[in-house]
Each structure stands twice: as structure tokens, then as C-alpha cells.
Amino acid sequence: MRNIKLTIAYDGSSFFGFQIQPNVPTVQGILESALTEITKENIEVIGAGRTDTGVHAINQVINFRTNSKIPLEKIPTALNSLLPNSIIVKDAEEVSLDFHARFSARSRSYIYLVYNAPYPSPFLRNYAWYIREKPDVGKILDVIDVFKGEKDFTSFSKSDGEGTIRKIYDIALFERDPFIVFYIKANGFLRGMVRLIVRVLIDAGYGLIDRNGIESIINAKRRGMIKGIAPPYGLYLYKIEY
């Protein structure tokens, strides 16, 4: 038995999210079909992060177990020839049998792309959140560290999960005109967490909420306090560390 770790990128606008579902294209479903075809075994794929519909991945990590003897270096090419070009296998690695893409992960990082210009771009409609009004980046930088550290992020989740404590190691903003780029790294994320944080930070840039306001949302530990959410198509799963 071998345990294979793959690093993959995908365009989330082509899929109904990562996790397999009946009758709709999902990243997991398409990967499992391709792996089953290559190995002639029933392959089950484990993903590090279950990205939602529309969310992209630059370096998603998955693993699967197989008895197939296919040489490691042939796996990316064999898969890429079967996969649609909205999914790319960038790397394959043989790992110990106890490696689990999701549970072994020590940290995950995401990038969120905001596009600020006088009018939206047809080329970015699936790849960045378009905002017409320019937020005050200084105001965002004034409050951004409020999210750092280990906290109960219930208020920043979309649905019930198994535990709501997460530790944010790093959160940063880069201006790359006409883009505002958010980077956020944590031991893990609740469902919708990055998008709710980005929404609140853009609101801070518009002067709609300040540090006290954000702190009271965090401390309330209650879902549904945040009006709106940044759309999924600006979000990119960037890196998983083990």
C-alpha cells in the first residue's frame, strides 16, 4: 500500500466546490474518477481544505492510498492528460501511510483578491471581488491585527462545525493597484471565515466599523452579526503546511 500526496491548483468557477456531491462537477469527484481510471482501483481522495463553490486553489493538497505500481513521476502527467484544464496536478510525492491531507496539516493560508476600479472587468468576474468605491487602506491596516491570535471565531462562521477556536498566525494586506490583496494564515478556518473577515475589513476601510465594533462582534461569539460576506470567487487556497 502506498500513500500519495498531490499538490493541485484549480479554477473554482468550474466546480460546485471541492467536496464530492452527486450529479454536479466537484474537484474531489473528478479527481477520484481520474485516479480510478489510472489505478484501476476505487480511489478515495482526502483534501486538506473543502473549498466552497467558486473558491479557487493555488496549492490544494490531497492524498490517496493505492496498491498501483505507477511510478510517482508519471502520476502528474497521467492525471493532467485525463483532467479538465480547470484542474492541474503540480506535484506528486510519496508520503508515510499515516499522512492525512486534512488532519496532518499544521497551517493553511488563503489569499483574497479585491479589485477596485471605475468599472468591473469582464476578465476578473470569476477571480476577484469588484468594489467601485475605494476603501481607506490605512483604516484597514489600523484594525487588521485585531484578528490575530487564538480566538473563538463563532461570529465569523457560516455554519456549525466541530469546535470554533482557531489561531490566526498572520493576516496582512498588500496594495497592488488596482488590487487589494489579503493574506491570512491560521491553524485552520471555519466555514466562510476568511470571507467574513474580508467583508468586515473592507467595511472598516469604508469607515462603517472600527476596532471596538470588530472586537464586540468577535466577543459576542454569535453568528449572523455581519452584514454580507465577501464573494467566494475572490478567495484562493494558497498553501498548506505540514
Closest distance between a second copy and the C-beta of residue 83, in Å? 9
The verdict on whether 52 is a catalytic residue reads yes
Binding positions for a second copy, rule: CB under 8 A: 9-11, 56, 76, 80, 85-88, 90, 119-123, 125, 127
| C-alpha span between 28 and 127 (Å, rounded) | 21
Buried b (16+ CB within 10 A) or exposed e, 90-113: eebeeeeeebebbebbeebbbbbb
Q: How far is the CB of 160 from a second copy (least distance, A)?
A: 32
- d(C-alpha 157, C-alpha 191), whole Å: 5
CB of 95 to a second copy, least distance (A): 21
Q: Taking the alpha carbons of 192, 91, 40, 43 in that order, is the dihedral positive or negative?
A: negative
Beta carbon nearer to a second copy, 9 or 137 = 9
Q: Which is nearer to a second copy, 122 or 163 (CB)?
A: 122
- The rounded distance, in Å, linking the Cα atoms of 52 and 102 is 16
Minimum CB distance to a second copy, residue 8 (Å): 9
Interatomic CA distance for residues 135 and 140, integer angstroms: 8
Would you say 40 or 132 has its CB closer to a second copy?
132
Q: How far is the CB of 123 from a second copy (least distance, A)?
A: 6
Q: In angstroms, rounded to a whole number, what is the distance separating the alpha carbons of residues 63 and 196?
A: 29
Strands (E), the chain: 2-10, 46-47, 56-66, 87-95, 107-116, 129-131, 149-152, 165-176, 179-186, 235-241
Complex with a second copy: residue 76 or 232, whichever CB lies closer: 76
Residue type, 64: F
Q: Give the residue with the Cβ less far from a second copy, 77 or 212.
A: 77
- Straight-line distance from the first to the last Cα atom of the chain, in angstroms, rounded to the nearest whole number: 21
Query: Mind telling me the catalytic residues?
Result: 52
